[in-house]
């Protein structure tokens, strides 16, 4: 499904990824954990095509296709979704308008028929109920004045609408209290499917109590230094990242 090979990347001349290798099979949930500055967010931006990051070597394939050649919107249409660590505010643009524009752009690019206002509203109602997003919230401008929890729930709602093939969750747990964490995790778990892969990026083990990963990787100094099962996350929580940082150096 996803194959990352010898990926190196830099921003502003500073090398961040140093030959990263990662394979995620269809239907699998992988977690990446690592200390601050390990390159976790960089990886999420490179997967989604942010242009400020320069890929200097290696490849990323999704279902055999090289996605590094694709623009961010093309990747979205192909099924890449990034749940942002810091969702961006867009003043004046109603959430419902944003969702409609996004979904229809993606549908159009996928060669599917665009949905009319009514069909869209129906779909939105059905999804928003699952994730506890109110009608009132959809009338507000995108992420403007949203609480931390609302922002993250909103990210998951967008994911539900766009039905990606490969979803990257960048520190979705940051800024969430335990109740919000549960709701968001339930939303993600409901989306788990045989043809959908997840990459969950997190600093803390806590999130993985709710979203159970199949595989856990440790990222340090720009590469994967250890791979294991869910028990690896518990070990990290207990013993910290220091052991791996030395190893990567």
Partner 1 sequence: MSDISNARIEQQTIDQVNALDTYSAGFVTDIESDKAPKGLSEDIVRFISAKKNEPEWLLEYRLKAYRHWLKMPEPSWAKVDFPEIDYQDYYYYAAPKSSENAPETLDDVDPKLLETYEKLGIPLREQEILAGVKNPVAVDVVFDSVSVATTFKKKLKEKGVIFCSISDAIKDYPELVKKYMGSVVPYHDNKHACLNAAVFTDGSFVYIPEGVRCPMELSTYFRINEMNTGQFERTLIIADKGAYVSYLEGCTAPMRDENQLHAAVVELITHDDAEIKYSTVQNWYPGDENGKGGIYNFVTKRGLCEGKNSKISWTQVETGSAITWKYPSCILKGDGSQGEFYSVAITNNHQQADTGTKMVHIGKNTKSRIIAKGISAGHSDSTYRGQVKVLAGADNARNFTQCDSLLIGGTCGAHTVPYIDAKNPTATLEHEATTSKISDDQLFYCRQRGIGEEEALALIVNGFCREVMQNLPMEFAVEAQKLIGISLEGSVG
User: Which residues in this chain contact partner 1 in the complex, by CB under 8 A?
Assistant: 48-52, 71-73, 75-77, 81-82, 84, 87-93, 97-98, 101-103, 105-106, 109, 141-142, 158, 162
Q: Nearest approach, Cβ of 225 to partner 1 (angstroms)?
A: 28
Decide whether 105 or 130 has the Cβ nearer to partner 1. Answer: 105
CB atoms within 10 A of CB 209: 14
| Least spacing, CB of residue 163 vs partner 1, in Å | 11
Provide, rounded to whole angstroms, the least separation between the CB of residue 165 and partner 1: 13
Q: Which is nearer to partner 1, 52 or 194 (CB)?
A: 52
Nearest CB to partner 1, comparing residues 92 and 111: 92
Which residue, 73 or 116, has its beta carbon nearer to partner 1?
Answer: 73
- What's the min distance (Å) between Cβ of 59 and partner 1? 21
């Amino acid at each position: 499904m996803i194959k990352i090979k010898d990926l190196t990347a830099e921003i502003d001349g500073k090398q961040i990824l140093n030959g990263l290798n990662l394979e995620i099979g269809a239907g699998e949930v992988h977690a990446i954990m690592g200390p601050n500055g390990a390159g976790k967010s960089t990886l999420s931006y490179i997967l989604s095509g942010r242009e400020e990051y320069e890929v200097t070597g290696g490849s990323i394939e999704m279902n055999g296709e090289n996605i590094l050649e694709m623009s961010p919107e093309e990747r979205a249409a192909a099924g890449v979704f990034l749940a942002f660590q810091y969702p961006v505010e867009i003043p004046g643009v109603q959430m419902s308008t944003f969702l409609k524009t996004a979904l229809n752009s993606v549908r159009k690019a996928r060669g599917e028929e665009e949905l009319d206002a009514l069909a869209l509203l129906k779909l939105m109602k059905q999804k928003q109920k699952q994730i506890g997003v109110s009608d009132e919230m959809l009338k507000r401008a995108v992420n403007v004045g949203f609480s931390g929890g609302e922002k993250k729930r909103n990210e998951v709602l967008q994911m539900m609408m766009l039905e990606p093939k490969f979803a990257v969750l960048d520190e979705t747990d940051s800024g969430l209290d335990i109740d919000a964490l549960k709701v968001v995790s339930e939303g993600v778990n409901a989306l788990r499917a045989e043809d959908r892969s997840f990459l969950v990026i997190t600093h803390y083990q806590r999130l993985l109590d709710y979203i159970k990963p199949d595989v856990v990787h440790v990222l340090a100094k720009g590469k994967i230094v250890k791979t294991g099962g869910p028990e690896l996350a518990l070990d990290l929580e207990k013993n910290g990242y220091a052991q791996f940082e030395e190893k990567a150096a």
